[in-house]
Structure 1
Amino acid sequence: MEKHTMLGQNTLRYFSLFILTLQTTLTVLAMRYSRKQTEGGKDLYIATTLVLVSELIKFMFCLILLLIQKSGSIEQLLKALGSEVIFKPSETAKLAIPSSLYTIQNNLILLALSSLDAATFQVTYQLKILTTAFFSVLLLRKDIKAFQWLALIVLMSGVILVQFSSDGKQKEANIVPSNPHKHLIGMLAVVASSLSSGFAGVYYEKLLKESAQPSVIIRNIQLGIFSIIFGTAGVVINDWDKVSQRGFFDGYTSVVWLVIMLQAMGGLVVAAVIKYADNILKGFATSVSIILSCLCSYVVLHDLNLDLTFVLGTGLVILATFMYGIQSQNTPFIGSNSSNNLIVDKDENEDISRASYTKVNNDRTYQKLSSTI
């Protein structure tokens, strides 16, 4: 019996990792493809509308999960929303800062993938490991081990090599881009989104440690409310003229809807991985995803020229992911895909549908995994 149980757990562990790898890779590649020039000279979709639609679908997933938790009773659902969300405005308001940061992060990721190939983005975005560690030390006074700092140095070295590779290939090919600052804009967007991811996750962890805990799904609904508010503000402030002229869903294709659904399902995948896998295996999934992104960018999207410097830099980033994961085996994960923000509570055994944030407090573990990715 125990043998069959262990076999079943191993099957679930590796299956969940396979799905995470597939979802992470497809999300990045689909987002990159959706931001490339469309056929027939048609306009691209308005990026802020995609962020808002994604948040709306995630919010609906949360409501459905809460309804299931309440045995399908609409009355119990409304009662829970009233008592935990509407009539606790101060508790709900605490989620405003992380929600706003993750909404900004989602927009920055789309901007980055409009300027960078999927592989360069995927490798560089691992900087979120560094930013999360930095803010953990600064705000939570966490102790980062020497081996972890070494891993972070290796990570930075790998990212720098990847950037040298990108710059060198353009100079060697005498490429004069239509927008000479496009690559710089993409890089700044990745760095800014990594900073946002790190700060928001650590801020949320600090918030959880200092306040009473409602149910995990309720926290996700509170996050969703502000994400929708900030997402709507982004559309109105930045792109209202475009929406008025072209329509909200102008430029939406099957690929765009695929991106939205991949982001929405990302939280469920993350929840499964947290339940069945450990840090090293998750690092392995991240590494495989980076390799697949490189191959697909080279073979399918044709927007990546591999050279020795890029391969070496990517290898260092993958090595750093493993090094950090080994040292963190008994500590919470730092970073993951995402821009798809969910909260996950291992003890409550709930699969939740928003990309996640992290808390560790004795026997309760919250994970901050950014899905988008």
Structure 2
Amino acid sequence: MSSTRLKYVSLGVLVFQTTSLVLTMRYSRTLQGEGPRYLASSAVVSAELLKILTCVLLVYKDHMAVVFSAGFSIRALNNVLTQEIINKPMDTLKLAIPSGIYTLQNNLLYVALSNLDAATYQVTYQLKILTTALFSVSMLGRRLGVYQWLSLLILMAGVALVQWPSDSSQAHEQLTTGSQFVGLMAVLVACCSSGFAGVYFEKILKETKQSVWVRNIQLGVFGLVFGLMGVFVYDGNRVREYGMFQGYNHLTWTVVALQALGGLVIAAVIKYADNILKGFATSLSIILSTLISYFWLQDFEPTSVFFLGAVLVIAATFLYGYEGKPSVNLSRA
């Protein structure tokens, strides 16, 4: 497949994953059905488990070439994982911090989409560009160009306009099924955690030679532990009463799969997409989320102020990638 075609395939994958995850998660958290609704903490644990299994298969795939030389088997795969994870405890323990933050972030996204419509969430969540840039400057010593600093100012202005109270605020409260303030706080904390964990993870990747799949296995193991702790601390009574997988259906498993596999897919294809295509992907995702949220989910009432803010956020996304210096780590975003 040519590099040009791969770029557009990457664009399609980015748009599909970003849009479908937000919309299905929002729909699953607002859908009224019989019986208890699935636990967000349980869904996070399921996603981490699926991610670990997927990364193990990818590690196996990376070593398949050995089949034709020394012979590769499940025992060989176990030796690779043991050597890279168990026999390097200090390298593995470094992943505990970003893993715990990612687990918190994944739970916050469920809280945010339980209280915000998909369009508002998509635009506001772009503040992770700001937090990632600031952590890149402070932790990695990167220097931002004039266009990037300008884009961050435009980004903040755009998000402020999206959150600006309007005459339709009361109508919006009737359409949505939660507190907009709670949703906004969840998104802001998620943006901060995403920025810090992404830069921290990038720093670790640059300091070691382990593959990104092995690193994601390490993240997933810690994420599984932290996630289970969250399940039994916050939802222990409900788990004992209705079970770990209460309220699960086909839609729930779709959300779990998109959350588990989405970041890995993006990590695999992002090298083919330049900053302009990333901007297109973000812009198309915002537009699609807005249209579907309004016409299908019917939980969003657009205003001129919202559209102005969304346009500013989209413009800031393009402007930030203009110089191509620092890249936002999307391997777990």
Category of TM-score, reference length = shorter chain: over 0.9
What displacement does 1:9 show? Answer: 2.1
Matched, 1:62 2:55: yes
- Structure 1 pair 263/280, CA: closer, same or farther in 2 (3 Å)? same
Q: What is the 5 A alignment of 1:208-357? A: 208-209=205-206, 211-328=207-324, 331-334=325-328, 336=330, 342=331, 355=332
TM-score, structure 1 as length reference: 0.83
Question: 3-state SS of the aligned residue for 1:44?
Answer: coil
The answer for the alignment partner of 1:201 in structure 2 is 198
2-structure distance, mates of 1:21, 1:192: 24
| Structure 2 counterpart of 1:188, one-letter code | M
The answer for the alignment partner of 2:73 in structure 1 is 73
Encode CA deviations 1:81-104: one digit per residue, 9 max, x unaligned. 111111211110000000000010
2-structure distance, mates of 1:12, 1:216: 20
- Structure 1 pair 174/86, CA: closer, same or farther in 2 (3 Å)? closer
What displacement does 1:323 show? Answer: 0.4
The answer for the alignment partner of 2:67 in structure 1 is none
1-structure distance, mates of 2:173, 2:303: 16
What displacement does 1:178 show? Answer: 10
What displacement does 1:177 show? Answer: 9.1
What displacement does 1:49 show? Answer: 0.2
The answer for the alignment partner of 2:153 in structure 1 is 153
Equivalent of 1:39 in 33, 36, 43? 33
Encode CA deviations 1:225-284: one digit per residue, 9 max, x unaligned. 111111111111111111111111111121111111112331343134323210111111
What displacement does 1:215 show? Answer: 2.7
Equivalent of 2:9 in 7, 15, 27? 15
Give the conservation status (yes or no) of the 8 Å contact 1:27–1:263. yes
Structure 1 runs of 4+ with >6 Å offset: 176-179
2-structure distance, mates of 1:215, 1:258: 27
Give the conservation status (yes or no) of the 8 Å contact 1:273–1:282. no
1-structure distance, mates of 2:287, 2:172: 27
Question: 3-state SS of the aligned residue for 1:126?
Answer: helix
- Give the gaps of 5 or more residues in structure 2: 65-71
2-structure distance, mates of 1:169, 1:274: 38
- How many residues are treated as equivalent by the alignment? 326
Greater helix share, structure number: 2
Greater displacement, 14-23 / 193-202: 14-23
What displacement does 1:44 show? Answer: 1.4
Question: 3-state SS of the aligned residue for 1:155?
Answer: helix
2-structure distance, mates of 1:158, 1:335: 22
- Structure 1 pair 101/175, CA: closer, same or farther in 2 (3 Å)? closer
The answer for the alignment partner of 2:189 in structure 1 is 192
The answer for the alignment partner of 1:48 in structure 2 is 41
2-structure distance, mates of 1:319, 1:98: 30
The answer for the alignment partner of 1:132 in structure 2 is 132
1-structure distance, mates of 2:83, 2:244: 34
1-structure distance, mates of 2:290, 2:13: 18
The answer for the alignment partner of 1:86 in structure 2 is 86
2-structure distance, mates of 1:138, 1:90: 24
Q: Name which structure has the greater RCO, CA cutoff 8 Å, separation 6+.
A: 2
- Give the gaps of 5 or more residues in structure 1: 337-341, 343-354, 356-369
Encode CA deviations 1:197-237: one digit per residue, 9 max, x unaligned. 0011122233344x432233221211111111111111111
| Structure 1 counterpart of 2:145, one-letter code | K
2-structure distance, mates of 1:24, 1:188: 21
Encode CA deviations 1:148-167: one digit per residue, 9 max, x unaligned. 111001101110111015x5
2-structure distance, mates of 1:174, 1:268: 35
2-structure distance, mates of 1:250, 1:291: 33
What displacement does 1:136 show? Answer: 1.4
Q: Kindly report the root-mean-square deviation, in angstroms, between the aligned alpha carbons of the 2 structures.
A: 2.0
Instruction: Provide the identity percentage.
Output: 50
Matched, 1:27 2:26: no
TM-score, structure 2 as length reference: 0.92
| Structure 1 counterpart of 2:134, one-letter code | F
- Structure 1 pair 152/217, CA: closer, same or farther in 2 (3 Å)? same
- Structure 1 pair 141/168, CA: closer, same or farther in 2 (3 Å)? farther
Question: 3-state SS of the aligned residue for 2:168?
Answer: helix
1-structure distance, mates of 2:329, 2:151: 14
| Structure 2 counterpart of 1:169, one-letter code | S
- Structure 1 pair 272/222, CA: closer, same or farther in 2 (3 Å)? closer
Greater displacement, 26-35 / 135-144: 135-144
| Structure 1 counterpart of 2:4, one-letter code | N
What displacement does 1:168 show? Answer: 4.0
